[in-house]
Every structure is written in structure tokens, then in C-alpha cells.
Structure 1
Amino acid sequence: MKLDWLKDVALDPGPHVSVYVDATRNRETGAHDMELRWQDARTALAGRGAPEPALVALDDVATDPTGVGGPVGRAMVASAGGLELHLLLPGPPLREEAESGPVPHLMPLVRSLADDVRYVLVELDRAGADITVARSDAVETKKKLSVEGGHDLLHKIPGGGWAALRYQHAVQDSWDHNAAAVANELADIVRRERPEVVLLTGDTKAAAAFRSKAAPVVLDLLVEVAGGHRAAGTNEEAFAAAVTEALDTVRAARRQAVVDAFVQERGRGGAAAEGLRDVVAALRRGQVRTLLLKDDPSSTNTLFTGPNALEIGTSVEELRTLGVEDPVQVRADAAIVRALAASDAEIQLVQDGLDLQDGIGAVLRYADPATP
């Protein structure tokens, strides 16, 4: 999971107020319940010294209607400068949290979106395509557009003779022109949106024409999914299951690629770090490319940090050696995610099948004689 979109929050000196709540409103009393819960959280935060401007900024969004039916969560981060982050989550957080401190608490957000996949869905027929740009786990409005090729000779007819052959060639030419229009639009979308996969469904003959016109940047990401159609009549439940299966394949491949890279580098004593102390040292030097973490929501581990996101250590002495006069003790996961976001690194949550000292490891950007 890329964390560059959290960089502005990570670089803000704080203090920060971080709040994660269940924003589901499936009962008549839902709105009133949310208001009461926010007031309780606000009172507790104020009692712990949270800056009032941050709380005022959160007042504006904490009880807003989500416009989402069914289970949904809300993530909010604010500082004295105002609202820094407000996102709806694909489900309620594991537990509701409201914290104030020098470091933003971003791990619940990472946990909620760790399996998110950016994708483009192309529902194709011989006239054009409906294209949807979406994220699998983010609660947001999908971007949708239709591409019409403009050539309307779409169906071949049985028969022989030169007239029929010319007509069939004209139809094939229409398919090719329409496919080219879709391919050109999709290449622009892929370059702009940077999806992890492009899902293609619909008419098989149109798909063949599209493949012949598609740019390499699209073909490299293309996965065909059966069961979808541009016209009405799609078995929506079956097609949704097929899309979910395709996205699960992307998630598994993404996770396995990170694990394989780590195991390979660890095995040859290369660009890898393992264990909390060594990974923190690599974070401090900006070496981490991808962090591997066995997520433990119940962890009470702490680290020490300074005003700079990369001023991070396992002891006060480490930071004082770096010139940090007043290190502060914070949640380990909060300090780690802040350092990752500030250094344009990524995070991958991993399963129990991988043996990791302290439940943490990293694939490094480089290794040198000073690497732990």
C-alpha cells in the first residue's frame, strides 16, 4: 500500500487529533447516537489537552450524514491548523478510537484500506465501452464515462458473394475504429489514474478488436472477467463475484511479490532489515522501500520520536545522539506509519505464514556498510 497520499499529514508538526468511529446509520436513532458519541469523545479529547481549533474543525464533519447505506466507518485527523484528513471507510473500525498527541494515529486508516485495489472496469461492446475508475475498498464516488466509436455497422450477415464480403469488411472496419477509440481513451485513463489492474468484460469479438488496438500500458494490466455486459441483462451477483475474485488475485500477487523480495534479500544478506530495532534504524535513514508488518491492533509497543518524522528510535538515548533535545514516547505503529509516509515508502500487512522477528521487516531501497 502506497502512503504518499498521507505525506502532508505526516510532515505536519502537530499536535494532532485522530478519531475513528462507526458511522453506520441503519436505525432511526443513528444520527442522534452519533452526536452523543462525538460529544463524549470531544469532552474526553479536550480533557487530554487536544487543541480546541482541531476539535472545532472536527465538529464540522464528525456527525455529517455519510450518504452510504450499510456499515461504514469514518476517519478524521485534525490539527490546530484545521482538518487534515476526512475519509469514509469500507466498514467500521475494529474499535472506535479518539487520540490526541504529537504524532497522527494513522494505523487504523492503513488497516482499513490495506487491501484496497485501484482498478478500471471496461464493459465493452462493438459500439464502444462503459468505463469505470474505482477503488475496491474506498467509499467514494466512482468515475464513470462512456466511449462511443461512432461507427454503426456492427453486425455481420450470413451469405456469400462480393457484396456480402464488402459488407462484412465494412463491419469489421467499424469494430476496429470503435475499438481504437476505446483503446485511446483507456490508455489516457491508465496513465492518469495508475490502476493496478484493468478488468475487461463484454462482447468477445469486440474484445479481440480492442486487444489489437490497445497500448502496451493497458495490455500489461489487462485481465478478462466473464459475465459482464454493457447492455441490461447481466447477472449482477455472479459478475460481482467474478470481479471480487479478480481483485483478490491482484491482492494475493501484490502480497506475494513483497514477501518474495524480502525473503530473497534476507536470504542473501542484502537489502532487507528484520526486527524492530533494525527496521527503525532503516526508517531513520530513509532506506525502507516496503515495510512488512504483522498487524496487532492490541499492541502497546512504543517508540520515541522528535519533531521530524524520521527522528525515530527505540530509546531516548538514540534520539539524543541525533540531537533531539526532547524526545517523546508515542505509539510504535503511529510513529512507524508517519515515518513511512514522510519517506514515500509503502506498507504490506502479512499473514502468520511468514516468520518475522518482532513481527516486522522491510525491503530496503539500498544496503551499505552502515545498514544494520
Structure 2
Amino acid sequence: MRLDRITADLPTDVPLVTVVMDATRESETGNQAVLTRWKDLRRGLEGQGADEATLEALGERIRTISNAAGQHGRVLVGARGEVLLDCALATPPATDEALYEQGVNAFALARVADEHVRYLLASVDRSGMDVTFHESATASTADDGGTSYEGGHDELTKTNTGGRSHKRYESRAEDSWERNAEAVAHELDRIVTERRPEVVLLTGDVRARALVADAVGQTAKGLLAAIEGGSRSEGVKPETFRANVVAALDEFRLRRREGVLDRFRQIHGQDGAAVSGRDGVLDVLRRGQVAELVITEAVAGPPSSLAGKKLWAGDDPLQIGNHADVVEMGATAPHEVRADLALGRAALAQGAGITVVDEASVKLADGVGALLRWNDAATPNDHVFTQSADPHREGRSRVGRTQEVTEPRS
């Protein structure tokens, strides 16, 4: 998943506070539980050197109840006394985590990106359309207020007058429906071009939906997903309709994730531009080859299964590996960084996406893999060792070089 829409406004010249926490407020004591968790996280951030103004801004935002219901998590990023990002997660993290670091916690933002969907919700009837634009992972109100559009043809009802006039009225009504649908479709095409959603949820009158779906252009048609329960008029059951929207978005996210996995399985199975395993991924990240980093839920965390490992890093995010590696790459002040943070930042630095997947959906050595922009003779090839009886040799490069990932110092 591309993270550029999420990270575009985040500064790169100052340390950032990144908070990932359980924001569930289901019980009577739920609100106090959230505030207690934040108090503990804040204490840790103070110890890391985070500034008071940013902590105050984050605390004020956390005290504001998000619009996500039931069990859910929350990811917040702050700096310079401001909250820069506030997004909801459908599932609470296994553990809360707060970091004050020079650079983003890319794996935390990858979870946001996985749940982030830009979508249009279009409710149509035989006279027009109500449409709103949404960003589904935003913790606060996430629509643009919406607009209404009327087709302009008002002969909408078939009147049972009998005789020839009956057929005339019937024909006029159907003609109005079709003309209104064409006008609505034209407006929907315009909005799709302007707002560039990933999916368009179409609801409302069944006949109007069919007419609009037939009339929209190819771009919008490829984004349409019909859902039941919506209407421009009164009588909508909000809870039922909301459940239908959530189900449609979940289905879209699954298809989006599966598209990445299908490419990885196919290319990796053909020994093409894809690698699996920690050592191979480190090599291709350093060379700027990665188009998409693929990580398991365990690696994404929190807690990340790589959080207890350390890599050496230089000033450039691509300068990662063991101490000798980063010195050879020109690092003037090598320092140790958590392995999960280093991998994520290297991916973002080369414009790569990050996709979080279920462990059971694909076999990834060490829980990490990568789809590449290009490959050559020096690109790691973990298939070289698939016939080996030594499982530790899998995931190395063609030259057999193993990266040094150390346990944190006590």
C-alpha cells in the first residue's frame, strides 16, 4: 500500500512522536482506561525527550472520542506542538507503543494505509444523487459534507390513466429516468476525475442504480460497488446501512491486499523480481530496488517481532546493515536502530509501498519479502538454496553474504 498520502505532510527535519494505542471505550470505565494508557505512554515519551507542547496536543486529541465504535485502535503522529495525523484502526494493537524518533514508524503507518480507503458514497434515485467523499481511516469526522445533484427531468411517475395516454405518461416517465441517470452519471464521472477515489459505493433506488451504472464512463464503472440499504429519502436504518458500507470497504481492502500477494506469489514463484527473507530484503532495500515491501502481522506489530533486533544505520535511510556495511556506504556517524524502524524508513525513502499480510496467506522467510522494480545478476535469489538441507541458508544473496542483526545491548 502506498503511504505517500499519509506521510506527505509529515516533516522530515524534526523528531516525530508516533503513538499506537487501544482506544476502545466500550465499558463504563472505558474512557478512564484510555486516559490511563495515555498517561503511561506519555511518561515513556517524556523519558525519550519528547517536547511538552506536542505531548499536550496529543493528550488533548486523545481525550476527544473518535467516531470509531466498538473495539478499535488509534494511530497519532505529532511534532512541534501539533497533531499531524490521527487515524483509527479497526483492531486494537496487541500492545500500546509510543516512540519519539527522527523519522516515522513506517510499519505503524502501514497499518493505517491498509485500512485507509478513499471512497465516494453515492445515493441515487430517479431524480438525482447525493454524494459524499470519505477517508475511512480518519479518526475524526471523515466526509466533506456532501453535495446533491438533480437531473432536471421531473416527469418521474407512471400515471395509470388508461388508454393511449397511459402509455404516453409511462414512456415520458421512463425517458425522464434515463435522462436523469445520464446527467447523474456525467456528474459522477466529473467527481471521480476530480477526487480520484479508490472505490465508489452506489446505493439507493434499484432501477436508478442500474441506469446510472450503465451510463457512467469506464473509469467510474471500474470503481463501482453496489450496496443495499441506502436512500435519498427518510427510512434508512443507519446501523444496517453502516454495516453494509463497512462490509463493502472490507471486501475492497481484501481485494487490494490480495492483488499484491498474487503478484508476489507469481513473480517469486518464477524466480523473478521478488525476494523473501531478512538478508535478501536488506540487500534490495540498500540498492533502492523495492517497489513494495511485504510484511506479516507479527513484523508489523506492535510489538514488532523485529523490535528486539538492531541494525546499524547512517544518515541516509538506505545506509543499513552491519557496522562494516554502513561505513562502506559512506556513513560518517553509524548508530544502532531498531530493525523494524530501519526497514520501514528505507522502504519509504525509495518510494516503496508497504503491505501487511496474514502469516497464513503467503510464505515469507523471517516475515518479510519485497516486490522489486528491477533485478539483475547481483539481486538476492533465495531460490538458489531451496534444495539445501540447511534452512539457515535460505534468504541469503547469491554471494552468500549474511547480514548481522544484533540483539539490543543491555
Aligned to 1:136: 136
SS of match in other structure, 1:132: strand
Q: Does 1:339 align with 2:346?
A: yes
Q: 1:285-324, aligned counterparts within 5 Å?
A: 285-296=287-298, 297=301, 298=303, 299=305, 300-311=308-319, 313-324=320-331
Match in the other structure for 2:265? 263
In the alignment, what sits opposite 2:120?
A: 120
Deviation at 1:204, TM superposition (A): 2.2
How many residue pairs match? The answer is: 367
Question: Offset of 1:39 from its aligned partner?
Answer: 5.5
**How far apart in 2 are the matches of 1:204 and 1:39?**
51
Task: Name the amino acid aligned to 1:87.
Answer: D
Cα distance change on mapping 1:246 and 1:13 into 2, 3 Å: same
Superposition pairs for residues 59-98 of structure 1, below 5 Å? 59-64=56-61, 65-68=63-66, 70=69, 73-79=73-79, 81=80, 83=82, 85-90=84-89, 92-98=92-98
Using the TM superposition, give the Cα deviation of residue 43 of structure 1 relative to its aligned residue in structure 2, in angstroms: 4.4
Matched, 1:242 2:244: yes
Q: Is the 8 A contact 1:310 1:342 kept in 2?
A: yes
Q: 1:29 to 1:252 in 2, by over 3 A?
A: closer
CA shift digits 1:147-201 (9 cap, x unpaired)? 2222211112346655444433332332223212321222222223332222222
Note the C-alpha offset of 1:233. 2.2
CA contact (8 A) 1:113 1:138 kept: no
Equivalent residue number for residue 185 of structure 1? 187
Letter in 2 for 1:270: G
Q: 1:189-223 CA distances to partner (integer Å, 9 max, x unpaired)? A: 22233322222222222123212321111111112
Change (3 A) 1:73 1:63: farther
Matches within 5 A, 1:164-203: 164-203=166-205
Check whether the contact 1:200–1:225 (CA below 8 A) recurs between aligned residues: yes
1:284 maps to what in 2? 286
Counterparts in 2 of 1:51 and 1:239: CA distance versus 1, 3 Å:
closer
Contact 1:117 1:247 in 2 (8 A): yes
Structure 2 partner of 1:367 = 375
Per-residue displacement from partner, 1:270-315 (whole Å, max 9, x unpaired)?
111111121122222222112111122232233332222333x231
- Match in the other structure for 1:100: 100
Query: Does the aligned pair in 2 maintain the 1:305–1:330 contact within 8 Å?
Result: yes
8 A contact 2:152–2:180 mirrored in 1: yes
Output the CA distance in 2 between the equivalents of 1:359 and 1:12.
Answer: 28
CA distance in 2 between counterparts of 1:169 and 1:150 reads 17
The counterpart of 2:155, out of the listed 153, 168, 188, is 153
Match for 1:66: what amino acid? T
Distance 1:57 1:236, change over 3 A: closer
Instruction: Flag the structure with more relative contact order, 1 or 2, with Cα contacts below 8 A and sequence separation at least 6.
Output: 1
In the alignment, the residues of structure 1 paired with residue 227 and residue 103 of structure 2 have an alpha-carbon distance, to the nearest angstrom, of 43
CA 1:318 to 1:7, structure 2 compared with 1: closer, same or farther past 3 Å?
farther
Q: Aligned with 2:60: secondary structure? A: coil
Q: Distance in 2 between matches of 1:205 and 1:113?
A: 35
For the aligned residue pairs, the C-alpha RMSD in angstroms reads 2.9
Instruction: Provide the rounded CA distance (Å) in 2 between the counterparts of 1:233 and 1:355.
Output: 48
Judged with a 3 Å threshold, the aligned counterparts in structure 2 of structure 1 residues 266 and 15 are, in CA distance, closer, same or farther, namely same
Q: Rate the CA distance shift 1:118–1:39 in 2: closer, same or farther, 3 A.
A: same
Q: C-alpha displacement at 1:111, in angstroms? A: 2.6
- Find the aligned partners of 1:34 and 1:263 in 2 and give their Cα distance: 40
CA separation of 1:149 and 1:136: change in aligned 2, threshold 3 A: same
- Contact between 2:229 and 2:241, CA under 8 Å: does it hold in 1? yes
Offset at residue 135 of structure 1 (A):
3.3
Structure 1: tracts of 5 or more residues without a match: none
Distance of aligned partners of 1:32 and 1:7 in 2 relative to their CA distance in 1, 3 Å threshold: closer
Please tell me whether the aligned partners of residues 277 and 314 of structure 1 are also in contact (alpha carbons under 8 angstroms). Answer: no
Partner of 2:384: none
Letter in 1 for 2:56: D
Between the aligned residues of both structures, percent identity stands at: 38
* TM-score normalized with structure 1 length: 0.86
Give 5+ residue unaligned stretches, structure 2: 381-410
Q: Distance in 1 between matches of 2:54 and 2:122?
A: 39
2:388 aligns to what?
Answer: none
